[in-house]
Structure 1
Amino acid sequence: MPMSPIEHDRRYGELDQVLRAYAGQPADDTEDGPSTALTAYLRHTWHTRPSALATAEQQLREYSRHPPGRLRLRLGEFYPVPDVGLPEQEIQDWLRVLADHIKRSVEAGEVPPPSVPLTHWEWHARFPEVAQFLGGWFSQDMPDEFDGHDAAVADYIATTDLQLTARLAGELHELLALNLDESGYALAWAELGMEVDPPVPYSPSGWLARAAEQLVDGGFRADYGTSRLDE
């Protein structure tokens, strides 16, 4: 019978996260070095969920040693490895190579340094609320739904939980801290789901900074009360 969600996550949850990192990326890992996709997974996971790396290594290695048969895959009893562009007979060895790289990274403490995201997966993993904001409120239908960019931002603020609004503001400041050039920011917001141009006269980074200010202005303001000096 098909796996339950909890069984899937217990047996293949982190393996699935590793393989999702290969969306749109070549599976060109070798014994000598990891691919761009695996490096992106290692960087993000080291800096956010380092304990998950041991789980990833174990799940990858177990799957490489005991791949399921086609019948059990069709019955939904095992995780089906997505198409990564490799011949079926090479998948087991490739998974073992991934496990070896992750094990080496953990045992040697080899942490990829902070960097601009290198893959579509890494952009979304690092800036999930920005992706939700840009993809949900600034699709190509935005001009038909809102009277301009400010109206779209105002709708986001009005309809989104304050904690998520605060998270988005933080992610926007982190995105601006990458200190990219304008072509870099144009690429970033395209990767994150923005489908319309910034309003005149803003550049991509200028509009992101304005959106961050609007989120803060429209969000929570602490009530500091009256100090004794004011009495």
Structure 2
Amino acid sequence: MPLSPLEHDRRHGELDQVMRAYVGQPADDTPDKPSAALTAYLRQTWHSRPWALATAERQLREYADHPPGRLRLRLGEFYAVPDVGLPEQDIQQWLYCLADHIKHSLEEGEVPPSAAPATHWEWHARFPETGQFLGGWFSQDMPDEFDDRDAAVEDYRISADPHLLARLVGELHELLALRLDESDYALAVAELGMEVDPPTPYSPSAWLVHVAGRLTDPQAEYGS
């Protein structure tokens, strides 16, 4: 029978997080250098959940030590490593390579330097509520659902839990604190799910400032 959610997380939860970091990224790790995907995972996890790194190293190594057979995978009784573009016979050594890089980072205290997110996974791991906001309220369907972009922002403001609203405002300020070029802010909001352009005459960063201001409107009356 398939793994229960509890058993999945206990045995493979952090392994799955590492694998998710490779979505859309090449698994080109070598013994001498981690890939961009693994570097992004290390940077974000050191910043937000450093205790999870040891779990990731253990789960990667245990999975490589005891890879599942085809029958168990077909029955759903084991975690299936997603396709990362490597030949099947190379997966085991690749998992050992990832575990070795994480172990080295932990033992030597080598933390990737602070930087703007470099991968799709890292953007969403670092700015999760911004991803929910932009992906949910500013998809390509937004013009059919709202009169304009301010109406979409207002809909989020009056419907979101106050704690999530505060988290989003904090994330927007953190995103603005990166002081990216406008082209990089355009890339950032696209990575985070925005499928419509900011309204004229706003640049992407200026629109984020505008949104943060509207979300912190002192006249907001939650729960009314």
TM-score norm. by structure 2 comes to 0.97
- Give 1:218 shift: 5.4
Contact 1:157–1:219 (Cα < 8 Å) also in 2: no
- RMSD between superposed Cα atoms in Å: 1.1
Q: Which residue of structure 1 aligns with residue 216 of structure 2?
A: 216
Q: Which residue of structure 1 aligns with residue 36 of structure 2?
A: 36
- Give 1:141 shift: 1.1
The CA deviation string for residues 60-87 of structure 1, in whole angstroms up to 9 with x for no partner, is 0011111010001111111000000000
- Give 1:219 shift: 7.2
Q: Which residue of structure 2 aligns with residue 167 of structure 1?
A: 167
Give, in whole Å, the separation in 2 of the partners of 1:76 and 1:139. 34
Residues 218 and 142 of structure 1: CA distance in aligned 2, closer, same or farther (over 3 Å): farther
- Give 1:200 shift: 1.1
Gapped runs of 5+ residues in structure 1?
A: 222-231
Amino-acid identity (%): 76
Once the two structures are superposed, the pairs formed by residues 105-144 of structure 1 within 5 Å of their partners are 105-144=105-144
User: Aligned residue pairs: how many?
Assistant: 221
* Amino acid in structure 1 at the alignment position of 2:20: R
Contact 1:146–1:152 (Cα < 8 Å) also in 2: yes
Higher gyration radius (CA): 1
Q: Which residue of structure 1 aligns with residue 84 of structure 2?
A: 84
* Amino acid in structure 1 at the alignment position of 2:27: A
Q: Which residue of structure 1 aligns with residue 177 of structure 2?
A: 177
TM-score norm. by structure 1 comes to 0.94
SS at match of 1:114: coil
Once the two structures are superposed, the pairs formed by residues 62-73 of structure 1 within 5 Å of their partners are 62-73=62-73
Moved over 6 A (4+): none
Give, in whole Å, the separation in 1 of the partners of 2:218 and 2:41. 35
Give, in whole Å, the separation in 2 of the partners of 1:42 and 1:220. 38
Give, in whole Å, the separation in 2 of the partners of 1:68 and 1:143. 48
Matched, 1:10 2:10: yes
Q: Which residue of structure 1 aligns with residue 55 of structure 2?
A: 55
Q: Which residue of structure 2 aligns with residue 226 of structure 1?
A: none
Give, in whole Å, the separation in 2 of the partners of 1:220 and 1:130. 20
Give, in whole Å, the separation in 2 of the partners of 1:32 and 1:111. 16
Q: Which residue of structure 2 aligns with residue 21 of structure 1?
A: 21
